[in-house]
Structure 1
Amino acid sequence: MVATTVPTTRVSWLRYGALAAKLILFALLLSALIWPDLSGIKGKASTARLVIYPLGVMVLPLWWWAYGRAKSKLHTSFPWHADLLMTLPWVLDLIGNRLNLFDTVSWWDDAMHFILWGFLTAGVLLAFGPRDLTRALTAFVALGFGATAAVVWEVGEYYAFIRNSSELQTAYTDTLGDLALGTLGALLAGLIIHRARSRVRT
């Protein structure tokens, strides 16, 4: 595991931000269990989300605890910046559903696919991507991860709830748009991460 070194002065707020995001996520999931009708995810694969979302935000901490600490050669502290970026997509998705933004704001779904896939890809690159990749290779890695993750998400959405919902009629067009926006968000994240790392090296 290789990650960008973060100045000590930023570690505290990144740590608190990542922990706060996880607390918000688990609070939203708990409220969905207690008040499913108010969760915003009822009828939208709520059971799958209750399982997958906690796993999504715990991937990096669990990997670090089991493997990353011993293999990290560039730093000894947990990569809170990457953890925050990998946590935000799950939290913002739940907040958007809880506030019914996906169904009431026409551009919200498109914006989320672009932005959240960018966050997730940036976090994965910072946590697991070698720092010495060229811009082209960083872009290819970002595209590979982002496009694959977007496809897996869309397939999961289809089998979890879209095939049996009224959204099926527009699913093809919506899925193509989501895949394109998620991939573009991932590509932009890769280019930003490469530029940031280049500036640190210089």
Structure 2
Amino acid sequence: MLATAPPRCPGWVPGLVLAATVAQLGMAALAPGIDRFDGKAFGARLVAYPLLMLVVPTWWWLRARRAPAPAAPPWGAFTLVMLPFLVDVTGNSLDLYDAVAWWDDVNHFANWALLCGGLGLLLAPRLSPAWVLVVAVTGLGAVLAIGWEVGEWVSFIRNGTELDTAYEDTLGDEVLGTLGGLAAALVLAVTRARRGPLPTGHGE
């Protein structure tokens, strides 16, 4: 019995995710007097988030230009990479970080699962056997979690109101990010074992 191909993600989906993120960032950075945005470096995020969201599509496009027969863009992978930024900004817009005690923890785990899932889809065809895929994607998640926490420290924690709890919170976030990466890696490995090679080169 032949495995059915997974549904493909249309190209407008990552564009919509990017637009929704930028719109909320603009509101947070340019609208004064909103308490839930104060002290969280939304001016810097307005610049950094769109650039970070476009790193992977830009990398893919630069590689595709050199290929003799470029594949269709992997819109699904791009969307997964971009979604954590939208989730983070939306959580701030809805005041979930302050109003919901468990939101920050779930957010770190789920966002890293999404991010590493998207990156893993792009890397999976080059990583074999399955344990190499799991180790590589999990390790990438850990490195990105550390980098994210360093970015938060530099941008707003060291001079903000969260300094007293920063150490414990940073350790927890790094662990949750790594576990999110591990969860994504295991899903990718199991999916590949069941369906065969992941079709990232032909658009999801």
Contact 1:113 1:178 survives alignment (8 Å): yes
The alpha carbon displacement at 1:137 in A equals 0.9
What are the residue-to-residue correspondences of 1:1-202 with 2, within 5 Å? 7=5, 9-12=7-10, 15-38=11-34, 40-71=36-67, 76-130=71-125, 132-201=127-196
- Return closer, same or farther for 1:129/1:87 CA change in 2, 3 Å cut-off: same
SS at 1:11's partner residue?
coil
TM-score by length of 2: 0.86
Structure 1 runs not aligned, ≥5 long: 1-5
CA RMSD of aligned residues (A): 2.3
Contact 2:77 2:117 survives alignment (8 Å): yes
Q: What is the letter of the counterpart of residue 116 of structure 2?
A: T
Contact 2:22 2:50 survives alignment (8 Å): yes
Quote the Cα distance in structure 1 between the aligned partners of 2:35 and 2:15: 22
- Return closer, same or farther for 1:23/1:81 CA change in 2, 3 Å cut-off: same
The alpha carbon displacement at 1:51 in A equals 1.6
Q: Which moved more, 1:85-94 or 1:46-55?
A: 46-55
Higher helix share: 1
Contact 1:69 1:76 survives alignment (8 Å): no
- Return closer, same or farther for 1:129/1:105 CA change in 2, 3 Å cut-off: same
Contact 1:57 1:90 survives alignment (8 Å): yes
Runs (4+) of structure 1 moved beyond 6 Å? none
Q: What is the letter of the counterpart of residue 9 of structure 2?
A: V
Q: What is the letter of the counterpart of residue 95 of structure 1?
A: T
Contact 1:143 1:186 survives alignment (8 Å): yes
The alpha carbon displacement at 1:29 in A equals 2.1
Contact 2:64 2:71 survives alignment (8 Å): no
Quote the Cα distance in structure 1 between the aligned partners of 2:112 and 2:68: 26
The alpha carbon displacement at 1:200 in A equals 1.9
Quote the Cα distance in structure 1 between the aligned partners of 2:172 and 2:98: 16
SS at 2:8's partner residue?
helix
Contact 1:131 1:197 survives alignment (8 Å): no
SS at 1:199's partner residue?
helix
Quote the Cα distance in structure 2 between the aligned partners of 1:116 and 1:142: 14
Contact 2:29 2:43 survives alignment (8 Å): no
The alpha carbon displacement at 1:10 in A equals 2.5
The alpha carbon displacement at 1:155 in A equals 1.1
